[in-house]
Structure 1
Amino acid sequence: MERERFFEDYEIGEARRTLARTITETDIVFHAGHSGDYFPHHMDAEFCKTQPFGERIAHGTMTFAIGIGLTATEINPRAFTYGYERLRFPRPVRAGDTIRSTVTIGRKADDPKRPAFGQVVEIVETTNQRDETVMYCEHILLAERRSPEDVS
């Protein structure tokens, strides 16, 4: 869905929750093939029985890609991604887990390099079916200002 929003239109504290998605064994295997990450924590069931998690776990990069992908429900032609910060995976994701993301506008600031834009920081928290956080990050958007000439 396209939703045109300028920097001034973002409200700190506003939030939206995504649809959910169940992670499958196939997701984990395909991600290993796409990324080249065949680390035994993701691919070796026998090895994993000897580890604290007790079973294979999803790649952090896959959790990030899917958790962020779930948030891609709004297209804003006035903003674009500048990057991500503070990426964490406090709990593992396993095949069979169902995850969803909540996006909350955490803060706004001037962009020091681009006076016609402001930075909007979206706090992205991805949770599993038990409402446990499995991924946290801060998504930085550069959003066009409605009136860049008013910026000092």
Structure 2
Amino acid sequence: MTGLYYEDFEIGHIFSHKTGRTVYDYDNVLFSTLTMNPQPLHLDEEYSSRAEFGKPLMNSLFTLGLAIGLTVNDTTLGTTVGNLGFDKVEFPKPVFAGDTIYVETEVLNKRESKSRPKEGLVFLEHRARNQHEEIVMCCQRVALMRKKHN
């Protein structure tokens, strides 16, 4: 496993995740239909052509999930107990099919769990950018992480 344990996270450290992912129309259609989201801004080319951006928008929850997923190998693979919450989720720029998403993660804070002595809380901020270096998603997350030594 490549994930980090609670003790490995350093406040202020910024991870620049190397893996990026280009998003496609089929990602948008599949995610939107799997999650029962019939929003025509995601699924209807004709409708979207007359809307503000002139083409379908990627589902913002897909963008959020993708951004978090791109961080897993460097941070939480096999060492997380679970996500405790997300805060300040923002989508300042739209994402379209053909965009490539890259993510960086900053460790904002951490503390030992008061109720689970074998685990600790790590407070992270994820920032997703497109190929033009524009921030397309930003969020804060609390992850419950395993400790190395119990």
Give me the TM-score of the superposition, normalised by structure 1: 0.83
* Kept in 2: contact 1:81–1:139 (CA 8 A): no
* Kept in 1: contact 2:120–2:147 (CA 8 A): yes
Partner of residue 9, structure 2:
10
Q: Distance in 1 between matches of 2:85 and 2:139?
A: 7
Partner of residue 127, structure 2:
125
Q: Distance in 2 between matches of 1:3 and 1:42?
A: 34
Partner of residue 23, structure 1:
23
Q: Whose Rg is larger?
A: 1
Partner of residue 59, structure 1:
59
Q: Distance in 2 between matches of 1:93 and 1:36?
A: 20
Partner of residue 72, structure 1:
72
Give me the TM-score of the superposition, normalised by structure 2: 0.84
2:141 counterpart SS class: strand
> How far is 1:127 from its partner?
0.8
Are the structure 2 counterparts of residues 82 and 25 from structure 1 closer, same or farther at C-alpha, using a change threshold of 3 Å? closer
2:144 to 139, 142, 145: 142
Paired residue total: 147
1:73 counterpart SS class: helix
Counterpart amino acid of residue 26 in structure 2: T
Shifted more, 21-30 versus 71-80: the winner is 71-80
* Kept in 2: contact 1:84–1:137 (CA 8 A): no
Q: Distance in 1 between matches of 2:47 and 2:4?
A: 49
Q: Distance in 1 between matches of 2:3 and 2:72?
A: 12
* Kept in 1: contact 2:85–2:143 (CA 8 A): no
Counterpart amino acid of residue 94 in structure 1: F
Q: Distance in 1 between matches of 2:147 and 2:22?
A: 38
Stretches of structure 1 lacking an aligned partner (at least 5 in a row): none
> How far is 1:56 from its partner?
0.7
Deviations 1:27-81 (A, max 9, x none): 1111122112121110122222332222110101111121111112145554322
Root-mean-square deviation over aligned CA pairs: 2.1
